[in-house]
Amino acid sequence: MTETTRKHFDWVEVHPMPAPVPEGIVARFLALDDLSATVADALDALGIDSIVGASTLGPTLPGERIVGRAVTLRNVPARMGPYRAVTEGNWLMAEIHGIELAEAGDVLVVSGLPGVSNMGGIVAACARRGNLAGAVVDGAVRDVAQSRRRGFPIWTRDISPATGKWRGTSVEINATIAVAGVTVEPGDLVVADETGVCFVPIEAAGDVIARCEAIDAKEAEMFTDIADGLPMADVVRRLYGDLD
């Protein structure tokens, strides 16, 4: 980051970048057959409440699945109305700076504003160029045709044409944020597909993926047995155990 770039965003408190994800972890998560649901089961077993369904944060590109390190951004409402902000050129959003700081494979996670865009087409294009895995936005986004055309996946609460640049202020990058009621730390592992989003605390990632792989193996056997005609009584027994 150049000094000139930093001066463009001198109102934003920028915390250090989180540590890299341990080698091989992302690939192991991406190898799971049923990504977010399997991770959700493992999180439940560990008592970690960090699951958000797609009915709350929906994908702009159904069928996409991502796993990556969280780079966080927190936005708050602007102190002046949009007309005055436009007139005075008071633009204080900094999602593009979060993209600039992020590395390939990262996920921009935004605690944003409802009803107005926290990310548009230009930022999505920059994110795609930087090979970010995707974005999760607790708030609205816009220009979805642009992000879809570039194959950049976003999970978002809402879609709106209203820009946030005259209505919001970015205040922190790489700080602890809240997303749909879930606490997200910079460096957490973001797991998302068309079923929903899971935030995996990075210190628990090894335990979570080990549990996921065991679940995946068991379910693969069950799907094979069902396709081969396993009687329903045996399916129920496999799922719920013997009642004797």
Quick check: 1 pLDDT over 70?
A: no
Within 8 A by CB and 6+ apart from 66, the residues are 107, 133, 134, 153, 190, 191, 192, 193
* Residue 6: predicted pLDDT: 64
- The pLDDT assigned to 116 comes to 96
Classify domain 3-204 by CATH number: 3.50.30.40
Tokens encoding 208: 């979570």
The lowest-confidence range among 10-19, 156-165, 234-243 is: 234-243
**CA torsion angle 194 196 200 205 (round to 10):** -40
- At a CB cut-off of 8 Å and minimum separation 6, what does 199 contact? 50, 52, 70, 109, 179, 182, 184, 188, 189, 190, 191
Average pLDDT over residues 143-157: 97
Please tell me which residue, 7 or 131, carries the higher pLDDT value: 131
Continuous segment of H or E residues that includes residue 135: strand 134-141
Please say if the pLDDT value at position 72 is more than 60. yes
| Residue 243's pLDDT band (cuts 50, 70, 90) | low
How does DSSP classify residue 16? P
Average pLDDT over residues 177-189: 98
> What pLDDT sits at residue 223?
83
In the prediction, which pLDDT does 44 show? 98
Report residue 80 as tokens: 């002046």
Q: What is the pLDDT of residue 3?
A: 56
| Average pLDDT, integer, range 2-11 | 72
